[in-house]
Amino acid sequence: MGVTPASIFLERSDYDKALVIFKKEGYQDQQATIQTSLNMWFWGNVLCGGLIGSSTDAASGAMWKFSPNSYYVSMAPLKASQAEWDRFMYERNVRRFVLFTYNHLVSDLAEDGGEHLVSLLQLLSIHNDQTTKAKVRLQDLSHSTENPLAFANAVLRNF
């Protein structure tokens, strides 16, 4: 349906069965089920509009929203040497950690310490004598990137 990064538009009737399959030549296919959650505006319509507003939202599917609204996928090569596989797993682990703990990492970097920052330094195999220099570089990267994925990719390029 598209080339990444892509926006995919779904009919509201397809929300409960939406599955995205990511394909790239030379890589294992990956899939993600599109998740939805209750849109809190639905309750506002119940309170303000009563039965009519809320039943319209229910019938149209407007009572649902995508959660999360972005998906990040790491694709493993079909044929890879052990070194390539090890690098893929390292990059996937670093990227996942940064994406899932991004807000905590930014906070830890602002405070110059914290458990998430310590965990990232360990994941990057940064040793005690390199910690200060690595923290400064990570702080610079967090200021120069605009979103979690850009920060994760910058960390991988620099460490």
Across 34-125, the runs of DSSP E, i.e. the strands, are: 36-38, 64-66
pLDDT at 29 over 80: yes
CA distance 26 to 83: 17
pLDDT at 141 over 90: yes
β partners of residue 36: 66
Structure confidence by residue, pLDDT tens digits, 114-139: 999 999 999 999 988 999 999 999 99
pLDDT of residue 20: 82
Residue pair 135/117 in contact (Cβ under 8 Å)? The answer is: yes
Task: Return the minimum-mean-pLDDT range out of 8-17, 91-100, 136-145.
Answer: 8-17
Structure confidence by residue, pLDDT tens digits, 92-119: 999 999 999 999 999 999 999 999 999 9
**Reduced to 3 states, what is the DSSP secondary structure of residue 11?**
coil
Mean pLDDT computed over every residue of the chain: 82
32/93: higher pLDDT:
93
- Residue 149 tokens read as 């994925």
Structure confidence by residue, pLDDT tens digits, 41-86: 555 555 565 555 545 555 455 566 666 667 788 888 899 899 998 9
- Sign of the four-CA dihedral 99, 108, 118, 151: positive
pLDDT of residue 106: 97
Q: Which residues of 99-114 are buried (b: 16+ CB within 10 A; e: fewer)?
A: bebbeebbebbeeeee
